[in-house]
Amino acid sequence: MAGQSDLIKVGGTANLAGTVVVDTMDGYKINYDYTILTAEGGFNGTQFTDNTPAWNNVNNYAFVRPVISYDPTTVFLTVQRNDVAFASVAETPNQVAVANALETMGGSQSELYEDVVLRLTAQEAPTVYNALSGDIYASAQTVMINQTQHVRDAVTGRLQQAFGGKPTTPVKAMGYAPSDDDAQMNGYYAEPESTYGAWGYAYGSWSELKGNSNTGKIKSDTGGFIAGFDGALSENWRVGALAGYGYTSFDNDQNASGNANAYTLGAYAGGQWDISDSTGWALRSGLAYTWNTPEVDRTVSFGSFYDQLNGSYDANTFQAFGEVAFQYQPADQMQLEPYANLSYVNLNNSSFNESGASAAALGVHSDTMNTYFSTLGMRASTGFDIGTTKAEAYLDAGWRHAYGDIDPTSTAALTGSSPFTVSGVPVARDTAVIGVGMDFNVNEMTSIGLGYEGQFGDSYTQNSVTARLDIRF
């Protein structure tokens, strides 16, 4: 039975021969001498053929071996750590990092260490290493960086709208231009009619990072709202401020999931200038800081070992971004806008200790990422009437490239181990960006818009829907 040996007692002398086969079952203790046979008259100088007997299962324990020893009247079975390194059965760099950290716990009397030594087969060990790694903390950094895009999209769209839509001639009445159509036809942009404006932007997105040979995929869902207020400094310049809230949930395929609340404050500025009656250029820029409060739940379970772990920490982002666009009206109802934008995102994760009942609880170090994005693209829009309502349809197509820190890492330590570093799902280096949508002029003071954006890369897919409300006064 578990924790005890089967015992044969001989009243006289026993002659030993053959081999011993040992059952693989829970309950063994490492370096504990189990008495399996006693003989009051001794063994007549005999021993079993093999003093390192075999396990009875082909998928035997990878990191221990049974050893037979003797005294004059007793045969002992001892389960000892063998010379198979934990890392020798690992299959990925993350698993190797965890395995090497586990090796440093050998003298700690850790329940986790003993369970790894005494319970795992070579086939089971890689899965357990993944569960212990906490790589979701690294992958969550990519999730947080990707979500900063919603602020940039909101600001860019707002500044387009504030200077007259995307902007085609009929839609200029949506923003800050007089509603007289003939007057609008005469100039490329219309002089602002109102000094101030307010706006709201709601978004929802669903994304999947496919992972690679080293780390599993991670899925995330995000929803949020951003509101802003701005005013005209002149006919060419507007400045404003924004605040937002978002909520993101994410999970990987290794019994780990998390969520994060996000609180954002920011400022933005933009300008637009004529080159000729049919051409112009625009500048759009902004700064934003987001306080993220992620909370992660992980489960580590193998053999008789089980622990539910929780980590709560801060993961704050700062971003600065800017865009330059050339605007061309080939016809009164149409506009083309090639553009280039650049953004910088800094992410700082705080250090923290997971809560849990075992040595599987991680002490996670602080981490920083500095990531840059550049996007080159083209926007096209056309205006039309739906009854008495002015409307606009637009298409946005671009190519986004990521630079700098795109491979997130997390450094942590198991209780009693040396620190180890694992990688998460990387930020997609190259993605195609596609956006479509429609804006509607509700009245001279109000416009609304609905949109879709998709991002598609080799390892990354994101689909987003948006709704916008703009009010001038």
Sheet containing strand 74-81, edge to edge, reads: 8-10, 33-39, 74-81, 64-71
> Residue 179 has what pLDDT?
38
> Residue 52 has what pLDDT?
73
> Residue 16 has what pLDDT?
86
Q: Which residues of the chain have pLDDT under 50?
A: 1-4, 58, 166-193
> Residue 26 has what pLDDT?
67
**Which pTM was predicted?**
0.87
Neighbours of 418 (CB within 10 A): 12
Domain 135-179+193-471 adopts which CATH fold?
A: Lipocalin (2.40.128)
DSSP states along 112-141: HHHHHHHH-BTTTHHHHHHHHH-THHHHHH
> Residue 90 has what pLDDT?
96
Q: Which parts of 303-387 are beta strand (E)? A: 305-312, 315-331, 334-349, 352-353, 362-364, 367-386
Closest by CA to 236, choosing from 158, 329, 162, 335, is 162
> Residue 260 has what pLDDT?
98
Domain with CATH 2.40.128.130 in the chain: 135-179+193-471
> Residue 131 has what pLDDT?
94
> Residue 64 has what pLDDT?
87
Q: How far apart are CA 380 and CA 436, in angstroms?
A: 10
Q: How far apart are CA 463 and CA 452, in angstroms?
A: 7
The structure tokens 């193998």 sit at 302
> Residue 358 has what pLDDT?
82
Contact 258, 265 (CB under 8 A): no
Q: How far apart are CA 167 and CA 162, in angstroms?
A: 9
> Residue 162 has what pLDDT?
86
> Residue 309 has what pLDDT?
96
> Residue 177 has what pLDDT?
37
> Residue 328 has what pLDDT?
93
